[in-house]
Amino acid sequence: MGETHLATITLRAKGLSITTPEYKDVYFNYYWLRDNCPTSFHPEIQERTFDICQLQQAPCAQQAEVIDDKLVINWANEDHTSEFDFAWLLAWQAQPGREDAAALPRKHWFGDYYPKLFRATQADLENTLENRLNWIQAMLEHGIAIITGMRDNDQSITDLANLIGHVRPSVEGYYFDVKAKAKAEAYSLSFTAAALEMHTDTPAEENAPGIQFLHCRANDTTGGDNLFLDGAAVAEDFRKSNPKGFDILSGVSVPFYYDHTNFDWRSRQRVIETDHQGNVTGLTVSQHMADLFDLPQQQLDDYYPAFVEFMQLLRNERYLMRFRLNAGECVVFDNHRIIHGRDAYAANSGSRHLRGCYTDRGELRSRYRTLYKQLVS
């Protein structure tokens, strides 16, 4: 017979409590325990094979004890015994959730960040997995990187994007070309030589694009500097200076639209995105795609002042990184976190052509996890 661990198990109506010399009243719900019994998962694939919804009665422990460092539960109302690694259970209670290598804290940056940007050549990323891992880590932590030595063809941006995901379609299709068009053809300010205000791309899509690639194929015009800022850094500063305004912009969604002859996109988005822990994950801002705010007029009494104050903060030079993107360079950035814009340029002063595409943020994190397991863990 195995050795009984020094622990006291108390069976309750909806769960059980564990008390050890180190822990007191560590509680686990019966449904959670039965649902996550090690036998509930396929031994090789690790997908769940047990369906707790098939139980005719709520799970309830008939007996539970710790033997050989395992919590052993005999269940009432069914012929089943669960055995849990006792140390794993206590560790889960201390920090619930699977360990996630891609859950890296965001490192905020400001207008002087340009010399510190992650840089690598396209060949470096294609030939060395370590370089690829470092690139994705920079994207997760800082949200932006510059790739140099891009091949001067349409395929080059596809090859780069495929290193971290699959090119996903957007309003323009799978790719778009940013260059001045004839007046009759330009249906977006992007396709003119005019300045672009700080924005995130296509917020009118229900699921706005995640990672954006802009490959500079030519740029010998006068003007047209690229503008970038860390929206998460600005939002966190706004949280400190105006917590009520932050709660409004992170809690209330407003409409965006993008209407043309061949499409009519509409969605509602929060200006400040937060995750389930309240951390800022990104922004959704675009003055030229913002629809008429349709909130009740009394609610606008509070919404507009918060909105205007925050949008003015996004124009503060403290946050703004300005540089010229040169032919053969590709700037890659998180379209939700990194706000971007452009200075006006002289349309007749030369050629300016940026080819762009998008991948998903979820794929970026997925690729980081797989590379991390392969190279680090």
Residue 335's domain is classified under what CATH number? 3.60.130.10
Last residue of a domain, one of 60, 94, 128: 94
Q: Does residue 163 share a domain with residue 86? A: no
Q: Is it the case that residue 15 has pLDDT exceeding 80? A: yes
Percent of the chain with pLDDT over 70: 95
Q: Give the contacts of 200 (CB within 8 A, at least 6 positions apart).
A: 208, 231, 282, 283, 284, 285, 286, 335, 336, 339, 340
The beta strand positions in the chain, using DSSP E, are: 8-11, 15-19, 26-29, 61-67, 70-75, 81-85, 118-121, 144-148, 176-178, 196-199, 211-219, 226-230, 253-260, 263-270, 272-274, 280-283, 321-323, 330-334, 338-342, 352-359
Residue in the structure block whose two tokens are 């609610």: 299
Q: How confident is the model at residue 118 (pLDDT cuts 50, 70, 90)?
A: very high
pLDDT digits (tens, 9 = 90+) for 122-134: 999 999 999 999 9
Q: Is it the case that residue 172 has pLDDT exceeding 50? A: yes
Based on the structure, what is the number of domains in the chain? 2
Max Cα distance, the chain (Å):
87
Q: Give the contacts of 185 (CB within 8 A, at least 6 positions apart).
A: 191
pLDDT digits (tens, 9 = 90+) for 279-316: 999 999 999 899 999 999 999 999 999 999 999 999 99
Overall pTM > 0.85: yes
Q: Give buried/exposed letters for 332-345 (b at 16+ CB in 10 A, else e).
A: bbbbbbbbbbbeeb
Q: Does residue 121 share a domain with residue 61? A: no
Q: Does residue 135 share a domain with residue 74? A: no
Mean pLDDT across the chain = 92
Domain holding 66, by residue range, is 8-94
Question: Mean pLDDT over residues 245-253, rounded?
Answer: 98
Q: Is it the case that residue 352 has pLDDT exceeding 90? A: no
Q: How confident is the model at residue 251 (pLDDT cuts 50, 70, 90)?
A: very high
Last residue of a domain, one of 63, 94, 125: 94
pLDDT for 191: 61
Q: Give buried/exposed letters for 7-30 (b at 16+ CB in 10 A, else e).
A: bebeeeeebbebeeeeeeebebeb
CB 50 within 8 A of CB 58: no
Q: Does residue 236 share a domain with residue 139? A: yes
pLDDT for 341: 93
Q: Give buried/exposed letters for 170-194 (b at 16+ CB in 10 A, else e).
A: bbbeebbebbbeeeeeeebebbbbe
- Asked if the structure places residue 2 within a domain, the reply is no
Q: Does residue 123 share a domain with residue 83? A: no
Give the dihedral sign, CA 188/192/195/196: positive
Q: Does residue 294 share a domain with residue 209? A: yes
pLDDT for 98: 83
Q: Does residue 220 share a domain with residue 82? A: no
Measure the CA dihedral 107/110/116/121, to 10°. Answer: 80
Question: Mean pLDDT over residues 352-373, rounded?
Answer: 96
Closest CA to 165 of 370, 358, 30: 358
User: Three-class SS of residue 124?
Assistant: helix
Least confident range of 96-110, 143-157, 182-196: 182-196
Q: How remote is the C-alpha of 176 from its chain's centroid?
A: 22
Q: Does residue 219 share a domain with residue 73? A: no
